[in-house]
Homo-oligomer: A and B are copies of this chain.
């Protein structure tokens, strides 16, 4: 069992399901429990199975007989040598949730960047795990298609960006989160609400930014100039925040795509003698140590619910059931002093 290129890939259960206009579950029944399938459907699916040359993979068959009771989780696919605040918490929640279901999580690192699927292949072949939890999903990610092809159960924390027909994922609704932040800031009396985000092109960043556009447009306070972008580094974030705050002026507010960007904005406020909240509103994303340390309002990802849903999808997948489609969970806004204007705040009108 090795990773196939898309040119030579075998027909998958999903291909058969699409061709026969039935669910994945129905194809699975045709293979494993044909007595449950209506004769006309059975005939149609069997015809597509023959036409497409589909055969259930050996690995998938073996797994049904002998379960490891464990799910693999690749660590550090981005190469930073650590998980970071979100995946750290997600791992703890996933571990606790798996334990409550009588299973385990087996973290692993994919040692060979040239063959990113080799480690997945090896772990299933040696029956260390029954399937996988994916994180760091991205455009051009080879993993979902490969796992579908080999009928290995999996569920992703993060949308499968390349293929809308794949629904084995749960994600946090970044756009909805930023929308909620903008509405919160508007309700607190901030009239000019800017956005400090990442450079265009990252699915997560573009998603978050779209929430700012949507909410400010709906409120009739959208100004396309009130936004800036920066990478995560403090110097760049500080410079971008300084320019943006010059445009917005006192009494304004900023939504930041991350805690690192918010740290840049916070530093600029301190250097200018301005008080976060009282003088300039600040809301950031991810509710990390930095947000908590600086008392910044932040969008908190519901990672307990994400982990629970990921394990639910895995359970359904490994029983050859299709869970409901991909699920977007809204983050929760944690309000701290950085978006609570003090009583003596200069109102935007006065400026």
State the A residues within 8 Å of B (CB).
69-70, 75-76, 81-85, 88-89, 91-93, 95-96, 99-100, 104-109, 111, 119, 128, 233-234, 260, 263, 267, 270-271, 288-290, 293-295
Contacts and interface: CB of A to CB of B under 8 A. Distances in A.
A106 B108 contact: no
Contact of A75 (B95, B290, B293): B95
8 contacts: A70-B106, A81-B92, A81-B93, A95-B107, A95-B109, A105-B106, A106-B106, A233-B293
A76 B94 CA distance: 12
Tally of this chain's copies: 2
Nearest to A83: B88
A108 to B, nearest CB: 6
Contacts of A69: 128
Contact of A84 (B88, B234, B267, B294): B88
A113 to B, nearest CB: 13
Contacts of A76: 92, 96
A295 B260 CA distance: 13
A119 B102 CA distance: 12
A75 B104 contact: no
Task: Give the one of A84, A100, A104 with max B CB within 10 A.
Answer: A104
A135 B128 CA distance: 24
A92 B106 contact: no
B234 A294 contact: yes
B109 A107 contact: no
Given A128-B104, A270-B271, A293-B263, A75 B99 contact: no
Contacts of A128: 69, 104
Contacts of A89: 81-82
B108 A92 contact: no
A233 B295 CA distance: 10
A85 B85 CA distance: 8
Contact of A99 (B83, B109, B271): B109
A25 to B, nearest CB: 31
Contacts of A263: 293-294
A104 B99 contact: no
Contacts of A109: 92, 95-96, 99
Nearest to A96: B109
Contacts of A234: 293-295
Contact of A95 (B108, B288, B295): B108
Contacts of A85: 82, 289
A347 to B, nearest CB: 25
Given A69-B128, A81-B93, 4 more contacts: A82-B88, A96-B111, A106-B106, A234-B295
